[in-house]
Protein backbone atom coordinates (compact mmCIF):
# COMPACT_ATOMS: atom_id res chain seq x y z
CA UNK A 1 0.00 0.00 0.00
CA UNK A 2 1.34 3.42 -0.99
CA UNK A 3 2.08 6.03 1.62
CA UNK A 4 0.15 9.30 1.47
CA UNK A 5 2.17 12.52 1.67
CA UNK A 6 1.19 16.17 1.86
CA UNK A 7 3.74 18.78 0.79
CA UNK A 8 2.83 22.43 1.34
CA UNK A 9 4.00 25.16 -1.01
CA UNK A 10 4.64 22.44 -3.58
CA UNK A 11 3.79 24.23 -6.81
CA UNK A 12 7.40 25.34 -7.39
CA UNK A 13 10.99 25.21 -6.21
CA UNK A 14 11.92 22.97 -3.30
CA UNK A 15 8.34 21.95 -2.64
CA UNK A 16 7.82 20.76 -6.21
CA UNK A 17 11.10 18.84 -6.21
CA UNK A 18 10.30 17.30 -2.80
CA UNK A 19 6.94 16.15 -4.18
CA UNK A 20 8.69 14.72 -7.24
CA UNK A 21 11.21 12.72 -5.23
CA UNK A 22 8.58 11.38 -2.85
CA UNK A 23 6.34 10.33 -5.75
CA UNK A 24 9.31 8.65 -7.42
CA UNK A 25 9.62 6.60 -4.21
CA UNK A 26 6.13 5.10 -4.73
CA UNK A 27 4.22 7.62 -2.64
CA UNK A 28 0.91 9.31 -3.44
CA UNK A 29 1.69 13.00 -3.04
CA UNK A 30 -0.83 15.77 -2.41
CA UNK A 31 0.58 19.00 -3.77
CA UNK A 32 -0.69 21.87 -1.65
CA UNK A 33 -0.70 25.21 -3.42
CA UNK A 34 -2.23 28.55 -2.48
CA UNK A 35 -2.62 29.42 -6.17
CA UNK A 36 -4.84 26.84 -7.90
CA UNK A 37 -3.63 27.63 -11.43
CA UNK A 38 0.05 27.26 -10.52
CA UNK A 39 -0.77 24.14 -8.55
CA UNK A 40 -2.46 22.55 -11.54
CA UNK A 41 0.59 23.35 -13.68
CA UNK A 42 2.81 21.60 -11.15
CA UNK A 43 0.52 18.56 -11.01
CA UNK A 44 0.44 18.34 -14.82
CA UNK A 45 4.24 18.51 -14.93
CA UNK A 46 4.63 15.59 -12.54
CA UNK A 47 1.82 13.54 -14.08
CA UNK A 48 3.55 13.77 -17.45
CA UNK A 49 6.49 12.13 -15.67
CA UNK A 50 4.17 9.28 -14.68
CA UNK A 51 3.98 10.25 -11.02
CA UNK A 52 1.03 9.78 -8.64
CA UNK A 53 0.20 13.32 -7.53
CA UNK A 54 -2.91 15.40 -6.98
CA UNK A 55 -3.67 19.03 -6.16
CA UNK A 56 -5.10 20.34 -2.93
CA UNK A 57 -5.65 24.08 -2.64
CA UNK A 58 -4.33 25.50 0.60
CA UNK A 59 -3.45 28.85 2.08
CA UNK A 60 -1.75 27.86 5.34
CA UNK A 61 -2.98 31.06 7.01
CA UNK A 62 -6.64 30.24 6.29
CA UNK A 63 -8.20 28.01 8.96
CA UNK A 64 -11.28 27.33 6.83
CA UNK A 65 -9.09 25.93 4.04
CA UNK A 66 -7.09 23.91 6.57
CA UNK A 67 -10.28 22.34 7.96
CA UNK A 68 -11.53 21.54 4.46
CA UNK A 69 -8.21 19.91 3.57
CA UNK A 70 -8.22 17.72 6.69
CA UNK A 71 -11.75 16.56 5.84
CA UNK A 72 -10.74 15.87 2.24
CA UNK A 73 -7.73 13.74 3.21
CA UNK A 74 -9.79 11.86 5.78
CA UNK A 75 -12.55 11.13 3.27
CA UNK A 76 -10.20 9.99 0.47
CA UNK A 77 -7.47 8.17 2.38
CA UNK A 78 -8.43 7.86 6.05
CA UNK A 79 -4.89 8.66 7.18
CA UNK A 80 -1.74 10.63 6.39
CA UNK A 81 1.77 9.17 6.48
CA UNK A 82 4.00 12.14 5.62
CA UNK A 83 3.64 15.87 6.22
CA UNK A 84 6.31 18.15 4.76
CA UNK A 85 5.77 21.70 6.00
CA UNK A 86 7.60 23.40 3.15
CA UNK A 87 5.58 26.58 2.57
CA UNK A 88 7.44 29.67 3.73
CA UNK A 89 8.26 33.27 2.83
CA UNK A 90 10.78 36.03 3.19
CA UNK A 91 8.66 39.17 3.27
CA UNK A 92 9.09 41.49 0.30
CA UNK A 93 9.55 44.44 2.67
CA UNK A 94 12.25 42.83 4.80
CA UNK A 95 15.83 43.92 4.00
CA UNK A 96 17.62 40.94 2.49
CA UNK A 97 20.69 39.67 4.28
CA UNK A 98 21.37 42.61 6.57
CA UNK A 99 20.34 42.78 10.23
CA UNK A 100 16.80 44.18 10.34
CA UNK A 101 16.12 43.78 14.08
CA UNK A 102 16.29 47.53 14.68
CA UNK A 103 13.96 48.48 11.84
CA UNK A 104 11.69 45.61 10.82
CA UNK A 105 8.03 46.61 10.72
CA UNK A 106 5.55 44.92 13.05
CA UNK A 107 3.36 44.09 10.07
CA UNK A 108 6.27 42.34 8.35
CA UNK A 109 6.88 40.28 11.49
CA UNK A 110 3.22 39.31 11.77
CA UNK A 111 2.82 38.35 8.12
CA UNK A 112 6.06 36.34 8.14
CA UNK A 113 5.08 34.46 11.29
CA UNK A 114 1.54 33.87 9.97
CA UNK A 115 2.96 31.78 7.10
CA UNK A 116 6.19 30.39 8.54
CA UNK A 117 4.94 29.57 12.02
CA UNK A 118 1.32 30.13 13.09
CA UNK A 119 -0.30 28.61 10.01
CA UNK A 120 2.17 25.73 10.02
CA UNK A 121 1.50 24.91 13.67
CA UNK A 122 -2.27 25.00 13.18
CA UNK A 123 -2.12 22.80 10.07
CA UNK A 124 0.11 20.27 11.83
CA UNK A 125 -2.11 20.10 14.91
CA UNK A 126 -5.22 19.59 12.77
CA UNK A 127 -3.54 16.75 10.85
CA UNK A 128 -2.24 14.89 13.91
CA UNK A 129 -5.28 12.57 14.20
CA UNK A 130 -4.71 11.41 10.61
CA UNK A 131 -0.96 11.02 11.14
CA UNK A 132 -1.58 8.91 14.25
CA UNK A 133 -3.55 6.44 12.08
CA UNK A 134 -0.38 5.68 10.09
CA UNK A 135 1.84 2.76 11.13
CA UNK A 136 4.89 5.03 10.85
CA UNK A 137 4.34 8.72 10.17
CA UNK A 138 6.75 11.61 9.78
CA UNK A 139 6.55 15.38 10.03
CA UNK A 140 9.32 17.36 8.33
CA UNK A 141 9.52 21.08 9.08
CA UNK A 142 11.54 22.87 6.40
CA UNK A 143 13.62 25.30 8.40
CA UNK A 144 16.88 27.13 7.74
CA UNK A 145 20.34 27.25 9.27
CA UNK A 146 19.58 30.97 9.70
CA UNK A 147 17.19 29.94 12.47
CA UNK A 148 19.99 28.44 14.56
CA UNK A 149 20.75 30.77 17.48
CA UNK A 150 23.99 28.86 18.06
CA UNK A 151 25.19 29.73 14.57
CA UNK A 152 23.73 33.25 14.56
CA UNK A 153 25.69 34.07 17.73
CA UNK A 154 28.96 32.64 16.37
CA UNK A 155 30.74 35.50 14.60
CA UNK A 156 33.14 33.04 12.96
CA UNK A 157 30.27 31.39 11.08
CA UNK A 158 29.71 32.61 7.49
CA UNK A 159 25.98 32.41 8.18
CA UNK A 160 26.03 34.75 11.20
CA UNK A 161 26.11 37.93 9.11
CA UNK A 162 22.82 37.06 7.37
CA UNK A 163 20.21 38.47 9.73
CA UNK A 164 16.82 39.28 8.17
CA UNK A 165 15.15 39.24 11.58
CA UNK A 166 11.55 38.33 10.76
CA UNK A 167 12.56 35.37 8.60
CA UNK A 168 15.27 34.11 10.95
CA UNK A 169 13.11 34.46 14.04
CA UNK A 170 10.25 32.59 12.37
CA UNK A 171 12.59 29.69 11.62
CA UNK A 172 13.91 29.74 15.19
CA UNK A 173 10.32 29.49 16.40
CA UNK A 174 9.70 26.66 13.95
CA UNK A 175 12.72 24.80 15.34
CA UNK A 176 11.32 25.22 18.83
CA UNK A 177 8.05 23.71 17.60
CA UNK A 178 10.00 20.74 16.26
CA UNK A 179 11.69 20.15 19.62
CA UNK A 180 8.47 20.50 21.61
CA UNK A 181 6.26 18.49 19.24
CA UNK A 182 8.82 15.68 19.01
CA UNK A 183 8.77 15.46 22.82
CA UNK A 184 4.97 15.55 22.92
CA UNK A 185 4.77 12.71 20.38
CA UNK A 186 7.68 10.68 21.71
CA UNK A 187 5.48 7.71 22.63
CA UNK A 188 3.62 7.70 19.30
CA UNK A 189 4.34 6.45 15.79
CA UNK A 190 5.30 9.94 14.53
CA UNK A 191 8.77 11.40 14.06
CA UNK A 192 9.25 15.18 13.92
CA UNK A 193 12.42 16.77 12.52
CA UNK A 194 13.63 20.08 11.08
CA UNK A 195 15.41 20.19 7.73
CA UNK A 196 17.92 22.74 6.47
CA UNK A 197 17.86 22.28 2.69
CA UNK A 198 21.02 24.30 2.12
CA UNK A 199 21.43 27.39 -0.04
CA UNK A 200 19.38 26.44 -3.07
CA UNK A 201 18.65 28.09 -6.43
CA UNK A 202 15.02 29.07 -5.87
CA UNK A 203 13.08 32.34 -5.85
CA UNK A 204 13.98 32.62 -2.19
CA UNK A 205 17.61 31.47 -2.50
CA UNK A 206 18.48 33.39 -5.66
CA UNK A 207 20.59 32.55 -8.70
CA UNK A 208 23.93 32.66 -6.85
CA UNK A 209 23.05 29.70 -4.63
CA UNK A 210 25.38 26.71 -5.11
CA UNK A 211 22.74 23.95 -4.88
CA UNK A 212 20.15 22.91 -7.45
CA UNK A 213 16.67 21.95 -6.25
CA UNK A 214 17.21 18.15 -6.46
CA UNK A 215 20.09 18.48 -4.00
CA UNK A 216 18.10 20.85 -1.78
CA UNK A 217 15.13 18.48 -1.55
CA UNK A 218 17.25 15.50 -0.48
CA UNK A 219 17.30 16.35 3.22
CA UNK A 220 13.53 16.73 3.55
CA UNK A 221 12.91 13.53 1.61
CA UNK A 222 15.39 11.57 3.70
CA UNK A 223 13.74 12.74 6.92
CA UNK A 224 10.40 11.26 5.84
CA UNK A 225 11.89 7.85 6.65
CA UNK A 226 14.05 8.85 9.64
CA UNK A 227 14.29 6.51 12.62
CA UNK A 228 15.02 9.42 14.99
CA UNK A 229 13.04 12.42 16.16
CA UNK A 230 13.60 15.96 17.41
CA UNK A 231 16.69 16.70 15.30
CA UNK A 232 17.82 19.55 13.00
CA UNK A 233 19.47 18.01 9.93
CA UNK A 234 21.22 18.98 6.72
CA UNK A 235 22.43 16.29 4.32
CA UNK A 236 22.69 13.67 7.07
CA UNK A 237 24.53 15.94 9.52
CA UNK A 238 23.03 17.39 12.68
CA UNK A 239 22.91 21.18 13.13
CA UNK A 240 23.01 22.89 16.52
CA UNK A 241 19.75 24.53 17.54
Active-site residue set: 167, 171
Q: Burial level of 122, CB count in 10 A (0-12/13-18/19+)?
A: middle
Compute the distance between CA of residue 69 and CA of residue 89 in angstroms, rounded to an integer.
21
Q: 109 vs 88, 144, 171, 237, CA distance in Å?
A: 13, 17, 12, 30
Give the closest residue to 82 by CA, choosing from 183, 190, 182: 190
CA distance linking residue 93 with residue 103, whole number of Å: 11
Straight-line distance from the first to the last Cα atom of the chain, in angstroms, rounded to the nearest whole number: 36
Amino acid sequence: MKKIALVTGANKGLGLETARQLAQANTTVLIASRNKERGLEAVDTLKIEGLDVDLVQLNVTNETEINALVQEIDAKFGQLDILVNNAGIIHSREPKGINSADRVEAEVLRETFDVNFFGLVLLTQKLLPLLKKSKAASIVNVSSILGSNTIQSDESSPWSSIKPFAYNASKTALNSFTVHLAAALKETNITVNSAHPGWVKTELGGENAPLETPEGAKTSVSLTSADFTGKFIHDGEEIAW
